[in-house]
Structures are given as C-alpha cells and as structure tokens.
Amino acid sequence: MMYAFFLVPILFLISFLLSSVILVHQAETIVIERLGRFHRILGPGLHAIVPFIDQKRSAIWTFVFVDHNHDYVRISKTLYRIDLREALYDFPKQNVITKDNVTMEINALLYYQITDVKAAMYEVSNLPEAIEKLTQTTLRNVIGSMDLDTSLTSRDVINERLRLILDEATDKWGVKINRVELQEVNPPHDIRAAMEKQMRAERSRRATILEAEGSKFAMILDAEGVQQSQVLRAKGQADAAIIEAEGQAQARLKVAAAEAKAFEMLQSAMPNTDPAQYLIAMKYMQTLPQMMEGQNNKLIVVPYESSALMGSLASMKELFKNIDEKQK
C-alpha cells in the first residue's frame, strides 16, 4: 500500500517531464498556444514547454491521394507538425469550358511550400482544400478566356498565369506557389477524332508537297545536267572547228609561202619566161593521173586550151638545167 502511495507521484512526475519536452525534427515546426492564444513557433531541436498551460496547435487538413487503382482518395489528417518542405498536390480531373464552348478534362499538378506557419494555421481552416478550390476556379477562368486551339498549344502560358494568380492569392495564407503543371488536357472524343483526321491530312499534304518538291528538284537537276552537257559539247565542237580552221589556214599559208618561193625561184631562173605557165603545167601534170584512174583504155577528151600547156614542158628542161648550173 505504501509503495502504491509513492508510485503515483513518481508516474505523475515522469508524465509531467515527458509532456514538458518536445523534439522537433528538421524541416518541421510546431505552433504552441498558451492558454488558447498563440505563444510561439518551435523550430528544429529540443524544446521545453509548460504542461497543461502550453498546448500544441493542431490543424485538420484534407489531402487528395491517388491509390493503386489510379482513383483519387480524400483523407483528412489532424496535424501537429507542419512540414516546411515543398509539397506536391495532384488535383482530380475537372471539366472546364473554353471560350468557343468546348468542354475539356484537365488534370493539374501544384507544387507549393509553407513560408509562414502562423498564417497557414490561423488565416485558413483547411489549407490543402482551400488551395484546391482556388486552383480549380482559377483554372476555369484562365481556360475560359482561350479557345480550344490556344489552350492546347499554350501550356506554358497557362502554367505561368496560374502560378502568378495562385501565388498572389495564397500569399496571405503563408504559402508560396512554386510551380503549376497541366498534366493532362483531354478534349472530347469527337474533337480528338477530328484533330487526328486533320493531323493525318496535314501530314499527307506535307508528304505530297515534299514529294513534288523532290521531283521538281530532280527535274531541274536533270535539265541543268543536259544543258551543261550540250554547252560542253557545243563548246568542244566550236573549239575543234576553230583548231581545224586554224590548221587549214596555217597549211594554206605554208602552201602559199612555198608557191611564192617557187615563183620567185622561177622568176630569177627564167627572167624572160612567165612562171605562171610553169605552175599551171605542174598543176596539170598532178591532176592528169587522177583523171586517168579507172578509165581502162577509154577515150579521154582534153580541152584544146590544155594542149597549149604542153608547150611549156619543153622549157622545163631548160629551167632545171639553169637551176643545176647555178647550184654548181
């Protein structure tokens, strides 16, 4: 009986000492109220409070979780310790109406962080639920000011507008909105089907354009190749004609020079004789064998004027004799 009398005070003292010491972990905080009024905020570390006079402030916050069946489940928790780390809030899908009266399903992700614990505890009763409702109404307003095409192609713009509006609205709650992301944007089934048809048509159009441009480019290359080959062929023929003409001209010049030299030699060897007669006779003698080819004892008619040329042949002996004497 005596042991029981001393055991009760000892247990009471141990309970008193345990309730007067609070250990706060890193990135957590606890709000302490003294006699029902705000007293102080406990940071990380070991703290002592006055039992029965100082009380930990609790808050009932409702959170949304996604279970293993991908369903959204709401859970209400009584919190004494406030987490100061960045938190993720995955909002359930909601229907929003665009400016052109198209209903879409949108799922958003919100990243927020508590910066003022006192405001988060006393300025709003259920902080996660308040943020959720504010995000839903803000999202409807933002999407309602855009048409369907703009809302589907302007996710970054929508995210930034949501972040700025929510950050300004939740500032009095001691919350900092770090980032807002639209996770899913689902138009109605008929709109998606029409968009898929439009996308396929656009891809077919682009493929047709690319194929036509490729064929056009190939035809241009072929035409340029043919043109270049024709130009090169014509240039080669022109160069060949020029070279041939130059060769013929040089040959004629050499022949003319040789004939002029022969004429001068005849003129010097036979001053009293016309060298032209000699040259004509030589041409006649060169042409006569060609005239005789293939005749086979047939009659050849020689013009009378040609017989006069034969008279000059008699003087050829005298000509060569004079030339030999001069060379000796």
Domain assignment present for 70:
no
Q: Which two tokens stand for residue 249?
A: 């001209």
CA 148/CA 146 separation, integer angstroms: 7
Same domain, 105 and 171: yes
Answer yes or no: is pLDDT of 304 > 50: no
Higher pLDDT: 172 or 71? It is 172
Half-sphere exposure of 41 (CA within 13 A, CB side): 16
CA 240/CA 252 separation, integer angstroms: 18
If we measure between CA atoms, which residue out of 146, 157, 139 comes closest to residue 100?
146
Cα–Cα separations (whole angstroms), residue 44 to 29, 75, 176: 7, 27, 21
> Quick check: helix, strand or coil at residue 99?
coil
| Confidence at 183, pLDDT banded by 50, 70, 90 | confident
Q: Which tens digit of pLDDT belongs to each residue from 207-248?
A: 888 888 888 888 888 888 788 888 888 888 888 888 888 888
User: Which of residues 6, 39, 56 is at a domain's end?
Assistant: 56
% of the chain with per-residue pLDDT over 90: 23
What's the average model confidence in pLDDT over 298-320? 52
Terminal C-alpha separation, the chain: 178
Cα–Cα separations (whole angstroms), residue 56 to 19, 38, 59, 104, 174: 11, 10, 10, 44, 19
pLDDT at 303: 52
pLDDT at 74: 82
Q: Which tens digit of pLDDT belongs to each residue from 18-66?
A: 778 899 999 999 999 998 899 999 999 999 988 889 899 988 888 877 7
- The number of folded domains in the chain is 3
Q: Which domain holds residue 309?
A: 271-292+299-328
Q: Is the dihedral of CA 31, 111, 157, 74 positive or negative?
A: negative
Same domain, 49 and 115: no
What's the average model confidence in pLDDT over 112-118? 93
Domain assignment present for 74:
no
User: Which of residues 163, 187, 211 is at a domain's end?
Assistant: 187
Higher pLDDT: 292 or 189? It is 189
Q: Which CATH number belongs to the domain containing residue 108 in this structure?
A: 3.30.479.30
CA 201/CA 180 separation, integer angstroms: 34
Angle, CA of 104, 107 and 110, to the nearest 5°: 140
pTM: 0.58
Same domain, 99 and 151: yes
